């Protein structure tokens, strides 16, 4: 069993803050909220419960070690760092006001010049879609399921026998396009409207073994997509993977220019594989139609671009085996 104040992790709270963390069930108020009082930063001294191994010696024994959780030996306690040693990395208490805006989801109190990119801070979202749609990986729905939902929206259904009224508001959707040349019932289209979700596709760039994934539904047009890919792959090339020096120079040099893949003024072109397995140039068809048929993207060297179109999928199909 474990020391009530310290717990099994080996961390020990010293000083006046002990009572805050002790488990006194009587004080647990379940039905009403009272504002918690947090100990002062300066009171909080978290000793590092690190076993320095046999003979590690230099730790000062500040507190009696708690009983071990795992049976390992807890000979020494090393007070290596305290709150005082760190710049204030603890963020301020989250505001308990309404959270309708997702932009308050994280508080980066660290050195602002780190340029921390918070995936949780959403740009303004398209009308009809909540801010949530801009947060990566939230809500936590598996890609497999989300892609199936999207496919629901795209697949034709011959009859519609929904018995309740359509509750969906009019939204910008993919489904509209499948009405072209199909037997799709308008009711079905309206019902399926609700199912627009992420559309993650793989993106590979020539010369970079590791691919990425982008959510095409996060963009409203080709230009936005091209910009995003440019941002994504230019720094990536610099970070890179294992490569020879020469190759590295080539890749870095090539990607120092913006992709500008739509106007053909760079070394790379953006292409995509459609439902039929053909590789096409991105930008030829209306955006919605593109979303409907794209399977994956490839940023191809301009030199390799000749002969894009039906029948090229055999040549261009690549298998990634990963490092072995």
Partner 1 sequence: MAYSFPEEVLEHVFSFLSSDRDRNAVSLVCKSWYEIERWCRRRVFIGNCYAVSPDIVIRRFPEVRALEMKGKPHFADFNLVPEGWGAYVHPWIRAMSAAYPLLEEIKLKRMVVTDESLELIARSFKNFKVLVLSSCEGFTTDGLASIAANCRNLRELDLRESEVEDLSGHWLSHFPDNCTSLVSLNMSCLGSEVSFSALERLVARCPNLRTLRLNRAVPIEKLPNLLHRAPQLVELGTGAYSAEIRSDIFSNLAEAFSVCKQLKGLSGFWDVVPAFLPAMYSVCSGITSLNLSYATIQSPDLVKLVSQCRNLQRLWVLDYIEDTGLEALAASCKDLQELRVFPSDPFGAEPNVALTEQGLVSVSEGCPKLQSVLYFCRQMSNAALVTIARNRPEMIRFRLCIIEPQAPDYLTLEPLDAGFGAIVENCKELRRLSMSGLLTDKVFEYIGNHAKKLEMLSIAFAGDSDLGLHHVLSGCESLRKLEIRDCPFGDKALLANAAKLETMRSLWMSSCSVSFGACKLLGQKMPRLNVEVIDERGPPDSRPESCPVEKLYVYRTVAGRRADMPGFVWTMDGDKSLTFS
* Interface with partner 1 in residues 163-202 (CB under 8 A): 163-164, 167-169, 171, 191-192, 194-198, 200, 202
List the one residue from 26, 31, 170, 306 that touches partner 1 (CB under 8 A). 31
Closest approach of partner 1 to the CB of residue 109, in Å: 7
Closest approach of partner 1 to the CB of residue 91, in Å: 3
Scan for tokens 């496919």, then name that residue: 151
143: closest CA among 85, 217, 205, 78? 217
Q: For residues 248-267, which are near partner 1 according to CB under 8 A?
A: none
240 binds partner 1 (CB under 8 A): yes
Q: How many residues does the chain have?
A: 324
Distant-in-sequence, close-in-space partners of 134: CB < 8 Å, separation ≥ 6: 102, 122, 123, 125, 218
Closest approach of partner 1 to the CB of residue 41, in Å: 9
128 binds partner 1 (CB under 8 A): yes
Q: Are 134 and 101 in contact, with CB atoms under 8 Å apart?
A: no
Which residue number, 10 or 283, has a Cβ lying nearer to partner 1?
10
28 binds partner 1 (CB under 8 A): yes
Closest approach of partner 1 to the CB of residue 142, in Å: 5
Binding part of the chain for partner 1, among 117-125, 257-265, 285-293, 302-310 by CB under 8 A, reads 117-125
67 binds partner 1 (CB under 8 A): no
Task: Please state, in angstroms and as integers, the Cα–Cα distance from residue 28 to each residue in 12, 13, 20, 25, following that order.
Answer: 22, 20, 12, 5
1: closest CA among 67, 74, 50, 75? 67
How far apart are alpha carbons 152 and 182 in whole angstroms? Answer: 15
């Amino acid at each position: 069993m474990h020391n009530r104040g310290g717990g099994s992790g080996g961390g020990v709270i010293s000083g006046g803050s002990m009572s805050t963390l002790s488990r006194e069930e009587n004080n647990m108020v379940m039905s009403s909220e009272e504002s918690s009082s947090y100990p002062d930063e300066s009171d909080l001294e978290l000793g590092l419960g690190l076993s320095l191994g046999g003979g590690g010696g230099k730790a000062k024994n500040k507190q009696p070690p708690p009983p071990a959780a795992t049976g390992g030996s807890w000979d020494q306690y090393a007070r290596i760092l305290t709150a005082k040693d760190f710049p204030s990395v603890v963020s301020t208490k989250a505001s308990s006001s309404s959270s309708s805006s997702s932009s308050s989801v994280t508080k980066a109190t660290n050195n602002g010049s780190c340029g921390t990119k918070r995936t949780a801070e959403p740009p303004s979202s398209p009308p009809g879609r909540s801010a949530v749609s801009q947060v990566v990986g939230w809500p936590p729905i598996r890609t497999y399921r989300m892609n199936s939902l999207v496919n629901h929206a795209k697949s034709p259904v011959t009859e519609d026998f929904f018995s309740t009224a359509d509750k969906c508001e009019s939204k910008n959707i993919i489904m509209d396009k499948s009405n072209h040349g199909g037997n799709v019932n308008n009711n079905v289209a309206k019902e399926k409207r609700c199912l627009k979700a992420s559309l993650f596709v793989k993106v590979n760039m020539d010369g970079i073994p590791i691919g990425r994934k982008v959510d095409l539904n996060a963009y409203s047009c080709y230009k936005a997509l091209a910009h995003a890919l440019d941002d994504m792959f230019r720094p990536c090339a610099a970070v890179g993977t294992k490569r020879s020096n020469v190759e590295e120079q080539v890749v870095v040099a090539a990607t120092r220019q913006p992709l500008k893949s739509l106007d053909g003024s760079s070394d790379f072109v953006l292409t995509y594989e459609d439902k039929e397995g053909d590789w096409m140039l991105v930008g030829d068809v209306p955006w919605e139609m593109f979303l409907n048929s794209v399977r994956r993207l490839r940023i191809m060297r301009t030199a390799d671009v000749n002969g894009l179109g039906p029948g090229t999928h055999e040549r261009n199909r690549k298998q990634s085996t990963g490092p072995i």
